[in-house]
């Protein structure tokens, strides 16, 4: 055998032996041997508790205030309005805290949206009972609010991925939605006046004889029942609701019925145009999100070769 061939064979044998040793070392390391593995550096970064971030704590406060406002909603319009308004205004504070403390989280964004949707829906449910003839309108507003935001968030995740935000809307997709979500002043104005209109309607249900005449009319005027002249009874609507017309709840309702309706009417008139535009944006958001999802479906079906062409009969 030539000398060069012998040298080549020895080199291949040495290389094979080295490879086996390396593979053995890799297998040993893969099994977690303490003799061969280098100790990993301990993670010195403290584990963060997302639930205790300042924006999320503010979000919890909003929920508590909203629940308290619902408790006072049937009979204490002033207390309810204050609690509900503070809960809504804290919506701007949690966004500020997220930017200042660098604590923007997906959990916080979802918590914020869920709180907004639930509080507004609860108020609209009360308005449906206060104005039964307009219940279908309030029910439609609830359905539009939930469907547009759910469809928009789902479409954003499908199109942009899990790292995308529902507020990241490109101008090419919709300049109106881009301005609505990227301009903080525009977003704050629309959300504030939208809630202000519904709060004004809530106050008018306790104060306006035009919208809620049954609250201040007598039993005879509201129900048409004839009252005997000699009968001793309380002709107030309070006697139809409460066994004791002098109970705390009855007196609170009586004070609520003496509210001046000028301020609620003024607030309703000022906030109505913005509220109406907010509903238009919800419709646009719903339509755009539906189209985005449909485009994704078309591309997905095309990638799968659908629809399959029918085989022509021979």
The residues that are catalytic are 116
Question: 3-class DSSP state for residue 304?
Answer: coil
Q: Which of 98, 87, 39, 35 is nearest to 65 (CA)?
A: 87
Separation of alpha carbons 197 and 203, rounded Å: 10
Q: Which of 205, 196, 73, 198 is nearest to 131 (CA)?
A: 205
Interhelix angle 184-207/106-130, rounded to 10 degrees, is: 30
Count the Cβ atoms, other than its own, within 10 Å of residue 55.
23
Buried-state track 299-313, b at ≥16 Cβ within 10 A, e below 16: eeeeeeeeeeeeeee
Start-to-end C-alpha separation, the chain? 69
Burial string for 217-232 (b: 16+ CB within 10 Å, else e) reads: eebeeeeeeeeeeeee
């Amino acid at each position: 055998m030539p000398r060069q061939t012998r040298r080549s064979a020895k080199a291949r044998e040495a290389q094979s032996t080295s490879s086996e040793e390396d593979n053995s070392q890799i297998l040993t390391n893969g099994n977690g041997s303490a003799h061969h593995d280098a100790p990993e550096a301990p993670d010195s970064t403290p584990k963060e508790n997302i639930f205790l971030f300042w924006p999320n704590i503010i979000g919890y406060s909003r929920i508590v205030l909203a629940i308290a406002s619902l408790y006072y909603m049937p009979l204490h319009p002033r207390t309810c309005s204050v609690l509900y308004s503070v809960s809504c205004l804290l919506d701007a504070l949690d966004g500020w805290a997220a930017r200042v403390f660098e604590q923007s989280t997906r959990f916080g964004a979802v918590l914020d949206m869920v709180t907004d949707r639930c509080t507004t829906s609860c108020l609209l449910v009360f308005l449906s009972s206060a104005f039964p003839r307009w219940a279908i309108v309030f029910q439609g507003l609830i359905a539009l609010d939930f469907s547009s935001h759910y469809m928009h968030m789902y479409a954003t995740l499908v199109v942009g991925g899990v790292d995308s935000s529902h507020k990241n809307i490109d101008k090419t997709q919709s300049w109106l939605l881009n301005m609505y979500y990227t301009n903080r002043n525009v977003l704050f104005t629309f959300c504030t006046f939208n809630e202000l209109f519904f709060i004004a309607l809530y106050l008018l249900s306790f104060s306006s004889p035009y919208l809620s005449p049954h609250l201040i009319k007598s039993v005879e005027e509201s129900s048409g029942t004839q009252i005997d002249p000699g009968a001793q009874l309380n002709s107030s609507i309070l006697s139809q609701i409460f066994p004791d017309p002098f109970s705390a709840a009855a007196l609170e309702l009586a004070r609520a019925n003496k509210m001046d309706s000028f301020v609620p009417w003024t607030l309703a008139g000022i906030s109505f145009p913005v509220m109406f535009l907010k509903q238009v944006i919800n419709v646009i958001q719903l339509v755009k999100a539906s189209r985005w999802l449909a485009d994704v479906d078309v591309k997905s079906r095309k990638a799968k070769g659908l629809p399959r062409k029918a085989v022509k009969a021979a």
